[in-house]
């Protein structure tokens, strides 16, 4: 199943001997895989390479001018092998990390509530998406934010394990982070950690008892369901929401998967099945050593047969992409918004030895019903799910900020939100009051479909918009990289001017032309609309 990677709050404290055994175990496993896949032509035998590495370690331990920290050597050896894969979702879990991982599997954890990864350009922690209603969400953390400091400590070069260990802690404790938003603005934010219990299925507004009302347009009988994450409760809660809409005579529903970071694969299949007739392909899973398997919809799972609009954007990842792609490719729903995130990899937890932790390894990819891979890999032209031409509806960063501000205010449980007057909801009302261009476009389109039988085009063709979006993303990355290096230059200048000694080995002001060239290569990729 596809899992959101959560925070761990325990430091590594293993015995040296067990770590040496673990290192050898990892090396044996990694090299045997290389040997069996016939990529050992230069050495010919996996054990020769193991001998090289053990000999190297022996010489460093016995002969280096300074006594090496063998625990650190092991940690870097493990992280080095994994980093060579260029896959932020493959990580090693030390035995103490497993305790926190198990808590996440059970759905019980305490933290700030955000999915994170390491930005490969900046080598810093990046917010993939805050979890809705989490402390991070309420504090204004947004997808794409780069974390520069955690409690005053610079995050450059931190591993994902170290970063999440610093971000987590006991419920009620505080953590202070310095983030850079996509706008370029830096902000220091203090967050109080909390137990994360999220209601993932939400409606358009709350009734007087603070329960969600899923009917958006009473006149045209159009419902609205927002799914913020795929967990074990999401399926049953989604079915209850659809049953409520069916009882109200709903003719259509808008399924909002924007900013949904994903979650459990079985839940994604269950949700897609609720909208599809039996026998439709939902998703396929296959990898280099994983045989292809395909999941199909069932007649018994169908819960709604009216028209369906799917809203998704560049922050819709993983399980939300599976549902979007299943409804889009089977022509069951019309997809409005922007190209999805492109996180379509399968992670499997593999214990390496008794009591020696486990490897969370990417061993397969998800494929859409049309056969295309969801996951974004370096140099790829296609990834994720794209709206059809004429249904691409983009929002600028400032517009997203305004929309999310209104949404967060509407999600707050208070008397005002629970006592709203009956209002006629129209696309213009949504644009003016909720600042939600994409939801307005979806409502306008589904009204047109119910009225004329045809989907009116309410967006752009998408080709130029997609290219512009990629160019903007890369320009932002270039700007962040240059700003980062400029900050280091300023620090070094101040050190010299103050007479403080500088260490050439720790100088971070090196030429960044190679990194920028890599970004420029990505800018040159022409990405056609699907």
The per-residue pLDDT for range 60-76, each reduced to its tens digit, is 999 999 999 988 888 88
Residues 6+ apart with CB under 8 A from 276: 282, 297, 301, 302, 326, 327, 330, 332
Residue 371 lies in a domain: no
Q: Tell me, yes or no, whether 423 and 489 share the same domain.
A: no
Q: Tell me, yes or no, whether 269 and 147 share the same domain.
A: no
Q: Tell me, yes or no, whether 389 and 338 share the same domain.
A: yes
Residue 362 lies in a domain: no
Residues 6+ apart with CB under 8 A from 426: 443
Q: Tell me, yes or no, whether 159 and 268 share the same domain.
A: no
**Angstrom distance (rounded) from CA 14 to CA 260:** 37
Q: Tell me, yes or no, whether 21 and 80 share the same domain.
A: yes
Average pLDDT of 1-13? 35
For residue 390, how many other CB atoms are within 10 A of its CB?
16
Q: Which residues are catalytic?
A: 318, 329, 343
Residue 66 lies in a domain: yes
Q: How many domains does the chain have?
A: 3
Which residues does residue 312 pair with via DSSP β-bridges, in sequence order? 337
Residue 32 pLDDT exceeds 50: no
The CATH number given to whatever domain includes residue 16 is 2.30.42.10
Residues 6+ apart with CB under 8 A from 205: 212, 213, 410, 417, 420
Residue 163 lies in a domain: yes
Using the CB atoms, write b or e for 64-100: b if 16+ within 10 Å.
Answer: eeeeeebeebbbebbbebbeeeeebbbbbbbbbbbeb
255-259, 458-462, 478-482: which is most confident? 255-259
Write out the residue range of the structural domain in which residue 412 sits: 201-278+298-342+378-461
Q: Which helix (H) or strand (E) holds 167?
A: helix 160-167
Terminal C-alpha separation, the chain:
27
Residue 498 lies in a domain: yes
Q: Which helix (H) or strand (E) holds 312?
A: strand 307-312
Q: Tell me, yes or no, whether 21 and 91 share the same domain.
A: yes
Cβ distance 361 to 90 under 8 Å?
Answer: yes
Q: Tell me, yes or no, whether 128 and 190 share the same domain.
A: yes
Average pLDDT of 187-207? 86
Report the pLDDT value the prediction gives residue 59, as an integer from 0 to 100.
92
Backbone angles phi, psi at 87, to 5 degrees: -130, 100
Cβ distance 496 to 502 under 8 Å?
Answer: yes
Average pLDDT of 207-217? 84
What does pTM read for this prediction?
Answer: 0.67
**Angstrom distance (rounded) from CA 75 to CA 82:** 11
Residue 293 lies in a domain: no
Q: Tell me, yes or no, whether 107 and 224 share the same domain.
A: no
Q: What is the DSSP letter of 300?
A: G
Domain end among 418, 440, 461? 461
Query: Is 17 strand, coil or helix?
Result: helix
* Closest to 384 measured CA to CA, from 330, 336, 317: 317
Q: Tell me, yes or no, whether 62 and 161 share the same domain.
A: yes
Q: Tell me, yes or no, whether 262 and 402 share the same domain.
A: yes
Residues 6+ apart with CB under 8 A from 441: 336, 393, 427, 458, 459
Domain end among 409, 433, 461? 461
**Angstrom distance (rounded) from CA 253 to CA 221:** 9
Residue whose structure tokens are 């292809």: 292
Residue 366 lies in a domain: no
Q: Give per-residue pLDDT as tens, 115-143.
A: 788 887 888 999 877 776 689 988 888 87
Q: 397 or 95: which carries more pLDDT confidence?
A: 397
Q: Tell me, yes or no, whether 396 and 470 share the same domain.
A: no
Residue 100 pLDDT exceeds 60: no
Average pLDDT over the chain, rounded to whole? Answer: 81
Residue 135 lies in a domain: yes
Residue whose structure tokens are 């300023």: 490
Residue whose structure tokens are 């220091």: 188
Q: Tell me, yes or no, whether 221 and 191 share the same domain.
A: no
pLDDT band per the 50, 70, 90 thresholds, residue 456: very high
Report the pLDDT value the prediction gives residue 148, as an integer from 0 to 100.
95
Domain end among 177, 196, 215? 196
Cβ distance 269 to 282 under 8 Å?
Answer: yes
Report the pLDDT value the prediction gives residue 294, as an integer from 0 to 100.
97
């Amino acid at each position: 199943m596809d899992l959101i990677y959560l925070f761990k709050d325990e430091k590594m404290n293993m015995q040296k001997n067990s770590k040496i055994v673990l290192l050898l175990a990892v090396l044996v496993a990694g090299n045997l895989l290389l040997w069996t896949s016939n990529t050992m032509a230069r050495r010919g035998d996996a054990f020769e390479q193991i001998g090289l590495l053990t000999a190297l370690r022996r010489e460093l331990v016995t002969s280096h001018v300074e006594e090496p920290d063998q625990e650190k050597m092991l940690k870097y050896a493990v992280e080095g092998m994994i980093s060579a894969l260029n896959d932020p979702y493959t990580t090693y879990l030390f035995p103490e990390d497993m305790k926190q991982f198990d808590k996440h599997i059970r759905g019980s954890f305490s933290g700030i509530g955000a999915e994170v990864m390491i930005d490969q350009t900046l080598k810093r922690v990046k917010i993939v998406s805050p979890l809705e209603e989490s402390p991070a969400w309420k504090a204004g953390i947004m997808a794409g934010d780069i974390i520069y400091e955690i409690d005053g400590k610079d995050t450059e070069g931190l591993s994902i394990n170290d970063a999440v260990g610093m971000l987590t802690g006991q419920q009620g404790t505080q953590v202070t982070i310095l983030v850079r938003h996509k706008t370029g603005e830096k902000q220091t934010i203090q967050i109080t950690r909390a137990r994360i219990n999220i209601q993932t299925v939400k409606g358009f507004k709350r009734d007087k008892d603070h329960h969600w009302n899923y009917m958006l347009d009473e006149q045209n009988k159009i419902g609205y369901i927002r799914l913020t994450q795929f967990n074990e409760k999401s399926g049953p809660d989604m079915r209850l929401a659809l049953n409520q809409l069916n009882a109200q005579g709903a003719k259509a529903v808008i399924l909002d998967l924007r900013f949904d970071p994903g979650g459990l694969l079985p839940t994604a299949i269950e949700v897609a099945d609720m909208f599809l007739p039996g026998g439709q392909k939902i998703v396929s899973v296959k990898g280099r050593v994983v045989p292809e398997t395909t999941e199909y919809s069932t007649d018994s799972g169908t819960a709604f047969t009216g028209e369906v609009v799917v809203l998704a954007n560049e922050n819709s990842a993983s399980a939300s992409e599976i549902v979007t792609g299943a409804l889009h490719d089977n022509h069951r729903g019309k997809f409005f918004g922007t190209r999805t995130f492109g996180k379509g990899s399968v992670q499997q937890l593999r214990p390496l030895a008794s009591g020696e932790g486990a490897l969370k390894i990417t061993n397969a990819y998800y494929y859409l019903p049309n056969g295309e891979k969801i996951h974004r890999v370096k140099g790829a032209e296609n990834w994720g799910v794209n709206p059809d031409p004429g249904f691409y509806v983009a929002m600028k960063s400032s517009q997203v900020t305004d929309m999310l501000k209104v949404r967060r205010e509407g999600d707050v449980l208070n008397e005002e939100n629970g006592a709203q007057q009956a209002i006629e909801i129209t696309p213009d009302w949504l644009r003016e009051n909720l600042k939600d261009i994409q939801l307005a476009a979806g409502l306008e389109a589904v009204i047109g479909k119910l009225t004329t039988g045809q989907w009116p085009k309410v967006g752009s063709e998408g080709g130029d918009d997609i290219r512009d979006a990629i160019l903007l993303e890369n320009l932002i990355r270039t700007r962040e990289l240059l700003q980062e290096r400029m900050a280091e230059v300023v620090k070094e200048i101040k050190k010299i001017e103050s007479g403080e000694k500088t260490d050439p080995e720790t100088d971070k002001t090196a030429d960044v032309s190679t990194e920028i060239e890599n970004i420029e290569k990505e800018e040159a990729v022409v990405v056609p609309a699907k």
